[in-house]
């Protein structure tokens, strides 16, 4: 069947054979689309069917409300066409014109402890390597002296292509944690592969809500740097939460950004009770209210899976359409 994919900036036509999902057929035709899980649970691959019959297998629970399905919304990783159809996507195809993935060795140029449990790792990409990324993407780093790879989002802005920064949660166990605590030294070479991932600004205009749990703040810092240069002065709300007060980091950095981004507001939450009055007690998701979802808002979420599930549910309960929620979950390390 011929399916017309209407992106925000262009239209692409693909052939979708019986029994093949729209997402897979698009990939086979070289057309990239936003997606994450590929199994119908994350909801990122949503599109709206404007004409034709496109359905998802029945008898399963999907992260779409009934009224959204009635309005033609489908998860394209699960959706099959039963004839010619047209599907609208709420983002430009150009957004997925990825920077090429490179495999290279970067040099460790700095290691700072931002909190007891959070390290900032700075690396330099060799001049001979052409590397660029979109704010929100991540790379894989090989733990020096091992064959183990870990994924980290860039916390630095997309314009600083050679000097990358990562904020890394340091755990009692774990290969990268052990390396950072015991062996890391300026000048170390670290194998790096990337950029990877499709998380990042969707191109949707309007207010922006950024919700970060722990080191999920990293891609938000990179995204904020991109937003600094955007003329659109729509409000940007950042909600950043950590489990314990001692896990908090970069509060000065956020304060500094607020001073030159008048449209940015920052809310910091901590799960445990605290004496400080400038922080909210509780989970960042619990602090979300209808005031955070002004008309036209797009939300970007990064954090552990439980926080993302709760945030998705809460934002949709507050009336934010599914296609306006973009999320990146921590990959297990
Ligand atoms: Fe996750 Fe389709 S890619 S629901």
322 lines ligand 1 (CB under 6 A): no
Cβ contact 200:290 at 8 Å: no
Kindly tell me the sign of the dihedral angle through the C-alpha atoms of 96, 99, 104, 108: negative
Q: Check: CB of residue 299 under 8 Å from CB of residue 284.
A: no
Ligand 1 site-directed mutation target among 44, 56, 62, 308, most atoms within 8 Å of CB: 44
Q: Where are the domains of the chain?
A: 2-96, 102-196, 208-329
Rounded mean pLDDT for each run of 10 residues along the chain, 333 residues in total: 92 93 90 82 88 94 89 95 94 76 95 95 94 91 94 92 94 93 97 88 85 95 88 87 91 92 93 76 90 93 91 94 84 48
195 cis-preceded (ω within 30 degrees of 0): yes
Q: Domain 208-329 has what CATH class?
A: alpha beta
Q: Which of 31, 44, 24, 28 is nearest to 5 (CA)?
A: 31
d(C-alpha 264, C-alpha 225), whole Å: 12
Distance, in Å, from the CA atom of 310 to the CA atom of 304, rounded to the nearest integer, reads 10
Ligand 1 atom at minimal distance to the Cα of residue 78 = 2
How would DSSP label each residue in 219-268? HHHHHHHHHHT------EEEEEEESSGGG---HHHHHHHHHH-TTEEEEE
Whether residue 27 has its Cβ less than 6 Å from ligand 1: no
pLDDT of residue 180: 96
Cβ–ligand 1 contact at 139 (below 6 Å): no
Cβ neighbours of 188 (radius 10 Å): 17
For 181-213, how does the pLDDT look when each residue is reduced to its tens digit (9 = 90+)?
999 999 999 999 989 887 888 777 789 999 999
Q: Whose CA is nearest to atom 4 of ligand 1?
A: 40
Query: How many angstroms separate the Cα of 148 from the Cα of each of 98, 174, 287?
Result: 25, 10, 37
What local confidence, expressed as pLDDT, does residue 332 receive? 44
The CA 167 to ligand 1 mean position distance, Å, reads 27
Q: How confident is the model over 67-99, as pLDDT tens digits?
A: 889 999 999 999 999 999 999 998 788 777 768
Q: From the CB of 79, is ligand 1 less than 6 Å away?
A: no
Which CATH number, 2.40.30.10, 2.60.40.10, 2.40.50.100, 3.40.50.150, labels domain 102-196? Answer: 2.40.30.10
Query: CA 309, 312, 315: angle at the middle one, nearest 5?
Result: 145
Whether residue 38 has its Cβ less than 6 Å from ligand 1 = yes
In CATH terms, the superfamily for domain 2-96 is Beta-grasp domain (3.10.20.30)
């Amino acid at each position: 069947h011929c399916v017309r994919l209407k992106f925000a900036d262009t239209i692409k036509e693909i052939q979708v054979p019986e029994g093949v999902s729209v997402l897979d057929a698009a990939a086979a035709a070289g057309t990239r689309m936003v997606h994450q899980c590929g199994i119908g649970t994350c909801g990122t691959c949503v599109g709206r069917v404007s004409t034709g019959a496109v359905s998802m297998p029945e008898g399963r629970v999907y992260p779409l409300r009934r009224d959204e399905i009635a309005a033609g919304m489908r998860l394209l990783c699960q959706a099959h066409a039963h004839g010619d159809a047209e599907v609208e996507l709420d983002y430009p195809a150009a957004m997925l014109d990825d920077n090429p993935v490179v495999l290279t060795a970067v040099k460790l140029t700095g290691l700072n402890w931002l909190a007891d449990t959070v390290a900032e790792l700075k690396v330099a990409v060799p001049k001979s390597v052409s590397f660029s990324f979109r704010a929100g993407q991540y790379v894989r780093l090989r733990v020096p002296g091992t064959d183990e790879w870990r994924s980290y989002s860039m916390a630095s802005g997309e314009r600083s292509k050679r000097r990358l920064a990562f904020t890394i949660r340091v755990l009692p166990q774990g290969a990268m944690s052990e390396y950072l605590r015991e062996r890391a030294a300026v000048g170390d070479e670290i194998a790096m592969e990337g950029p990877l991932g499709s998380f990042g600004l969707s191109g949707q205009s309007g207010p922006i809500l950024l919700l970060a749990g722990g080191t999920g703040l990293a891609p938000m810092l990179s995204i904020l740097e991109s937003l600094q240069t955007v003329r659109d002065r729509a409000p940007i709300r950042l909600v950043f939460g950590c489990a314990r007060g001692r896990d908090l980091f970069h509060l000065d950095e956020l304060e500094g950004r607020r001073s030159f981004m008048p449209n940015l507001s920052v809310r910091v939450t901590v799960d445990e009770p605290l004496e400080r009055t400038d922080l909210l007690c509780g989970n960042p998701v619990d602090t979300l209210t209808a005031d955070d979802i002004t008309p036209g808002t797009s939300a970007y979420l990064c954090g552990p899976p439980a926080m993302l599930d709760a945030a998705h549910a809460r934002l949709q309960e507050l009336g934010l359409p599914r296609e306006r929620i973009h999320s990146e979950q921590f990959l297990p390390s």
